[in-house]
């Protein structure tokens, strides 16, 4: 980690500007933003399980619509 110290006679605004410039040049801020929103890939088995679950729910929804227990306009 880099340590910044205020130079003698340097105003706070100049110090802050110097620190911000150094951080941007180093690329650490950009890297932190990328890591913040990183999405991890789901495993193949989890994808299969969720797909099978969706299929089963759709089948059950269609069955309920056919027998009249579920109105089609309530669904998206």
As given in the structure block, the two tokens for residue 23 are 């951080």
Residue 55 lies inside a defined structural domain of this protein: yes
Per-residue pLDDT of the chain (76 residues; tens, 9 = 90+): 678 899 999 999 999 999 999 989 998 888 988 888 888 888 999 999 999 999 999 999 999 999 988 876 655 5
Residue 7 lies inside a defined structural domain of this protein: no
Residue ranges making up the domain that contains 55: 12-74
User: How far apart are alpha carbons 15 and 26 in whole angstroms?
Assistant: 17
Helices 28-36 and 12-26 meet at what angle, rounded to 10?
70
Residue 19 lies inside a defined structural domain of this protein: yes
Residue 3 lies inside a defined structural domain of this protein: no
Residue 6 lies inside a defined structural domain of this protein: no
Whole-angstrom Cα Rg for the chain: 28
Cβ(71)–Cβ(64) under 8 Å?
no
User: How far apart are alpha carbons 69 and 61 in whole angstroms?
Assistant: 9
User: How far apart are alpha carbons 10 and 26 in whole angstroms?
Assistant: 22
Residue 1 lies inside a defined structural domain of this protein: no
Residue 2 lies inside a defined structural domain of this protein: no
pLDDT given for residue 12 in this prediction: 95
Q: How many domains does the chain have?
A: 1
Residue 59 lies inside a defined structural domain of this protein: yes
């Amino acid at each position: 980690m880099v340590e910044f110290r205020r130079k003698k006679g340097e105003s706070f605004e100049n110090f802050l500007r110097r620190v911000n410039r150094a951080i941007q040049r180093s690329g650490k801020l950009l890297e932190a933003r990328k890591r913040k929103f990183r999405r991890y890939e789901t495993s193949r088995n989890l994808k299969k399980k969720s797909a099978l679950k969706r299929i089963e729910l759709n089948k059950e929804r269609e069955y309920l619509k056919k027998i009249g227990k579920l109105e089609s306009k309530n669904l998206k």
